[in-house]
């Protein structure tokens, strides 16, 4: 394997799990915001149930967008593993531990 390929592989081994984690962090943050918004609406006396509905719908849309992004990043991860096998001769049976434990093969997660 060339030095350039080795450097690229090292960057990808660092960057792919980091991207996966950041998307998860964003999903958690939006989910927490959703909880706060709905709780505030429920707990504020005199606020009708219809108040803030558009905001809640926007947050739900943002959550779904993040779920879609997460799926796309997981697919990219799988694609990169396959490219590594084909071009660099890697015999990858599993990704680095930092990527997190996945009990199913990646294509099943899609």
**pLDDT digit string, tens, across residues 12-71:** 999 999 999 999 999 999 999 999 999 999 999 998 888 899 999 999 999 999 999 999
Confidence of residue 75 (pLDDT cuts 50, 70, 90): very high
Residue 84 pLDDT > 90:
no
Confidence of residue 110 (pLDDT cuts 50, 70, 90): very low
Position 50 scores a pLDDT of 86
Where are the strands (E) in 37-108, listed by range? Answer: none
Give, for 6, the enclosing helix (H) or strand (E): helix 3-43
């Amino acid at each position: 394997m060339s030095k350039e390929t080795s450097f690229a592989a090292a960057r990808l081994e660092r960057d792919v799990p980091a991207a996966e984690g950041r998307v998860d962090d964003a999903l958690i943050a939006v989910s927490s915001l959703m909880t706060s918004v709905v709780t505030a609406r429920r707990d504020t006396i005199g606020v009708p149930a219809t108040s803030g509905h558009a905001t809640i719908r926007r947050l739900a849309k943002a959550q779904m967008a993040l779920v879609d992004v997460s799926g796309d990043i997981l697919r990219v991860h799988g694609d990169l593993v396959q490219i590594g096998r084909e071009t660099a001769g890697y015999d990858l049976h599993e990704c680095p531990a930092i990527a997190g434990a996945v009990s199913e093969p990646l294509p099943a997660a899609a």
